[in-house]
Amino acid sequence: MNAPTNISAREQSAFDRALAEYLRARNSLNAMPVETTNQEDELIAMDAMAAAEERLFKADAKSIEDVRALAEIAWQEPASTPSDDMVAAVLVALRKLAPGQSRTFDAKTWLRYFVEHGGGWINQDGKVALVSPVPAGETLQGLLWELRTRGEDDQVKALIIAKGEPLSSDALHVPAQEEWKRLRRDYGTAKAALNAHTEPKGYAFGSAENDAHEAETERLANAQADAFDALMLHPAPDLPALADKLAVHSSFLQGDNWHKGAEIAEQLAADAARLLAEEA
């Protein structure tokens, strides 16, 4: 069966298909007999379910029933501790179903905390780009998460424009070109480290050497991903930097979805609009 109960194949949305794929992967894992399933098969099934879950939480929820499904998966039991991305997906989906300004978000307080923790902005002819130090502290990351889930970017940027002058904060103390070059070096270093590490080692599956090698691979992959996000979300200082950013974006993702894809797309669009306006 390709669709959840009560949904015909003809009526299926992309979310329905993602949910059906997740349920199939989860059911396959749950059906594995504990006594006879070997570790490798179980890990493969777990990876398949995790991948399906990730795709589901990136799918566009169209109804309150879709949001309910996300919430039930994120909070499967009282002790569930869903990831930040899972909670964000539920909040963003709810926001789309209840459009309009947030009743709980305070732009003035948010902006004050953002500045106090090193955030800043570039205001060029009324076009605002938020910037933050790299790496951003835990509080600053939380503030940016709140802004993304509440969807109040326009409210914050309008407040910045109303102030009438650009901000000089810790986030802007490093000249744009120097910061860009540092982030570009960091990404190149992280990518080279991962490429060098992932050469075949010939370790037996389940051995201590293989487990250690996989753990180091994951650490290096996460380091490259973090460096990629930092590079993509930093405003490009000029058109050559934007071209380089687009090339890195294409080679890193190779058409795959990405957990910060929407934020990166917004930053790339802002870069292009700002730099093209400067050239005009």
- Residue 42 pLDDT: 86
In 10 A of CB 97, how many CB atoms? Answer: 12
> What does the radius of gyration of the chain's CA atoms come to, in whole angstroms?
22
Looking at residue 110, the DSSP 8-state letter turns out to be: H
DSSP state of 189: H
pLDDT, tens digit (0-9, with 9 covering 90-100), for 228-275: 998 998 888 888 888 999 999 988 988 777 888 888 888 888 888 777
Residue numbers in the chain where pLDDT is lower than 70: 1-10, 134-135, 164-176, 199-201, 278-280
Predicted pLDDT at 92: 92
Residue in the block written with tokens 């060029």? 124
CA-CA distance, 208 to 9, in Å (whole number)?
46
pTM for the structure as a whole: 0.56
